[in-house]
Structure 1
Amino acid sequence: MTSNIRIIGGSAHPEFTDQICGHIGVDRCKTRLVRFSNENLMVQILENVRDADVFVVQPSCPPVSDGILELLITIDALKHASARRITAVLPYFPYARSDKKDQPRISITARLMADLLETAGADRVLTMDLHAPQVQGFFRFPVDQLKAAPILCDHLRSTRDLENYVLVAGDVGEAKEIGGYANRLNLPIAIVDKRRYGDDEKPRAVNLIGDVKGKRALIVDDEIASGGTLMEAAAFVLNRGAISVEAAAVHPVLSGAATSKIASSQLASIVVTDTIPLSPEKRIDKIEVCSVSQLFADAILAIHKGSSISSLFH
C-alpha cells in the first residue's frame, strides 16, 4: 500500500520527516535545494513522482519566510512533475495567529497562506492544533487537524502523580481547549483573566477564575512564543497560593528570549511536542519533548489508503 507514496522533507525539520518515514517504512524522497547568490531558491525533485501520492513536510519555523517560499516552490515543482496528489504536512501552520482582522488595515494572513497553498497546487493540508479552529474554513480543499492532547496527557500521566494538580488556562481564549485536557486527566480547571494592550507582547493578569491554593498548577496552551503569557500566568498563580507551577504546550516556538526566561523562571518544567525543531541552545533541562511523529505517520497512511482518520483526532 506504500509503493506509490512519497514523503518529502523541507529544510525546516528534516529529523521529523525522517521519523515519519521510519514509522511508515519508506525512504525520504530525494530533493535538491539551491540558494543562488541573488537569494532566489530552486527546488528540484530528484525522483520520479508521476502519479504518486506525495506528502511535503514543512512546519513553520525560522527562517519563516524562506520556509514558506521553499514549501510553495516544492509543491509547484511536484505539480508540474505530474504528482497525482500533493498534501502539505504542516505540523505548525504558518501565520496561524493571524486569523482575524482585529486592527484596521491589516491582512488576515492565515487566509493568505491558504490561498497561496491552493495556488501552488496543494490538494490538502495535514496540520496539528491550529491556534484557531476556524482557520480550517479558509481552505477550499480538505484540511485535517490532528490534536496533541492525547499524547501530552499520556506523557503527563506516566511521569507525574496528578493527584494534587489543577489545570490552568493562561487566558480566557484558551479555556475551551483546556476542557479536553481536563476530561482526559480528570482534573479541575482555573482560568487566568489576562489583558493584552497593543502589540508589546506584555500581557497582564488581572483576575483568577477558580482555585489554585495549595495545588500544583499546570498551565496548558497551544504554543509558547515569547513566553510573556506563560511567565505572567506562572507568577500570578504562585501569588495566588499554588505550591508549584509547570506548563504543557503543543508548539515550542520559543521566540526571542523565551528560553532564557524559562530557564530563570519559577517554572519546574515544560512539556512540548516536536512539531517545531528545538535548536541545541533551546534544549534546556526544564523542557521535556514528546514526539508526535507516529501520529502524523498514522494520519499520512490513513490519507494514502483512503481510510478514516477520525479516531486520530481524539
Structure 2
Amino acid sequence: MPTCEMCGRTLRLAVRGRPPRYCSRACRARAYRMRVADRSATDTRAGGRAWGRTDLQAEGRTDLQAGGRAEGQAVPGAGTRADPGADARRVPESTETGLSEGPLDQPLIVRTAIELADRDGVAAVSMRRVATELGVGVMSLYRYVASREELNDLMVDTVFGERPLPEPGPDGWRAKLELSAREEWALYRDHPWVSHLVAVTTRPPIAPSLMAYTDWRMRALDGHRLDFATMVQIAIMIGTYLQSAAMPLAHEAQAARATRHTRQQWADARQDVLHRTLRTAHLPMVSEFGTEAFQASEPENIFEFGLQRMLDGVATLLDTARAAGDAPAGSPVGPEHRQIRH
C-alpha cells in the first residue's frame, strides 16, 4: 500500500488519475513549504557560483532533491547535508502542537475536543478549532468523525465511559440510585459543559456509556413490582434532575471565565442593587434572604436536597406498588395504596 510522503500514513488508492502522494491538505502544504525552504537554502549556499542559473534549473534541482529524499536515495551534488524534512515525514502531523506523539485518530480528536471544552467551554468546540489545536487540516478530521453532532456524542460517551458504575453495586435500590446520582453529579463537576449537551432535550446523545447509567438504574428497580414503563420514567427522571441541577455549574464556569469573579464575589458586588430592589418591591420572604439562604442556594446543596426528596418520592411509589401487590384479590385499595398506572 502507498504511504504519505510526509507522515508515512497509509494512503487510499485513487480510483482514477495520478496516485496520491499525501494523506491530507496539511501534509501537502508542509511538503510545499519544505520545497520552498530547500530552494531558498540552495540559492543561499550557491551564492555567486549559481547566480547565472535559471529559475527553471533551480526548481528542477530542488524537485530532484525532494524526489530523491522521498525515495530514500542520495542526490548527486547534495553532499552529506542533513535532510530537514526527514523528521517531519516520520512524525505524524498531530505532533506539531505537542499534543500527542501518536497518529491522528478518533480517540485523539475526541480527547482534544474534551480538553478544549474543559478549558474554554463547549461553545468553543468546533471541527475547525479542534483541527487548529491538533495542527492539521480541518478536512482531515472528517476521515474519523463524520460531523459535529457525532463529535458531541463521542465526547459524552467518553466522559461517561470514564466513570462506569460498579457491578453489582451496593445493596438496596435506594443505595444504588443514590450512588449512580453522585457519580453522575461528580462527572458534571469535572466537566460542566456536558450538561449543555445532554440536558433540556428530547434527542439525547447516542452514547452507550450514558445509556448504561439508565440501564443500571432500571436494574436497581427491577423486582420491585413496577412495570417497565415506570422504571424507565424513574431512571430518566433521575438523569433529567441531575442534568438540570448541573446547568448552573456550566453557567458559573462560563461566567467565571468571562469575569474572573466567583459567585460570592459577584453577589458581594451587587449588594447595593439587591438592597434597593428589596426596599421597593413587596417580597416579604425574599427580603429575609441572608448568608444561610445564600449557602442553601449553592448548586451542591440544591443537588443534595433535591436528590433526597426525589428518592423519598420513589420510596413512596414502591410502597404503593408493594401494598397493591400484597392486597388479596378483589379487595379494595384506598387512594393511599393505589398503584399509579401509565
TM-score of Structure 1 vs Structure 2, range by shorter chain: under 0.3
With structure 2 as the length reference, what TM-score do the two structures score?
A: 0.24
> Greater relative contact order: 1 or 2 (C-alpha under 8 angstroms, separation 6 or more)?
1
With structure 1 as the length reference, what TM-score do the two structures score?
A: 0.26
Greater per-residue helix proportion: 2
Greater per-residue strand proportion: 1
Larger radius of gyration: 2
